[in-house]
């Protein structure tokens, strides 16, 4: 996955029920194909989704997929979708760059099942362990509504 530097701001505007989230690629920052570097949101309600995991286990890609599906379920309970997400954070046990293809596969499978494009700004942290030894990944989200 190549990093490209852009010379002008590229913006993806999303309007959802009176609220707008604009995802930006900013000049001088790496352009990452799977997410945008910045989100700008207008609204008055913040939704914080606690870290979601795959309680049924599975390999790494399967756990990534289920964690993102669980985030989608949590968002829906609050009246939101991934279009309202302004920040995602993933915590991955024993992260190494060799896991990137499986991570991307899990996200792509979740995106396909949800019928969405997951592109909000995201951070990934490699960690030693999660609260349950079988959990390999945990994903949390922040969204804005209204």
Q: What is the pLDDT of residues 96-119, one digit of tens each?
A: 999 999 999 999 999 999 999 999
Tens of pLDDT, residue by residue over 38-92, are 988 888 899 999 999 999 999 999 999 999 999 999 999 999 999 999 999 999 9
State how far the Cα of 61 lies from the Cα of 108, in Å rounded to an integer.
10
**pTM for this prediction:** 0.82
Between CA 21 and CA 85 the distance in angstroms is 8
Count of CA atoms in the C-beta half-sphere (13 A) of 124 = 16
């Amino acid at each position: 996955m190549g990093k490209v530097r852009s010379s002008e701001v590229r913006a993806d505007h999303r309007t959802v029920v009176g609220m707008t989230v604009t995802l930006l690629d900013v000049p001088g920052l790496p352009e990452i194909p799977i997410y945008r570097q910045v989100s700008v949101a207008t609204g008055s309600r913040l939704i914080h989704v606690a870290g979601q995991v795959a309680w049924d286990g599975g390999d790494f890609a399967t756990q990534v997929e289920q964690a993102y599906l669980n985030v989608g379920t949590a968002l829906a309970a609050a009246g939101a979708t991934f279009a309202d997400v302004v920040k995602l954070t993933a915590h991955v046990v024993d992260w190494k760059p060799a896991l990137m293809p499986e991570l991307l596969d899990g996200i792509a499978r979740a995106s396909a099942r949800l019928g969405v494009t997951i592109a909000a700004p995201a951070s990934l942290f490699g960690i030693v362990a999660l609260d349950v030894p079988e959990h390999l990944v945990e994903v949390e989200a922040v969204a804005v509504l209204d």
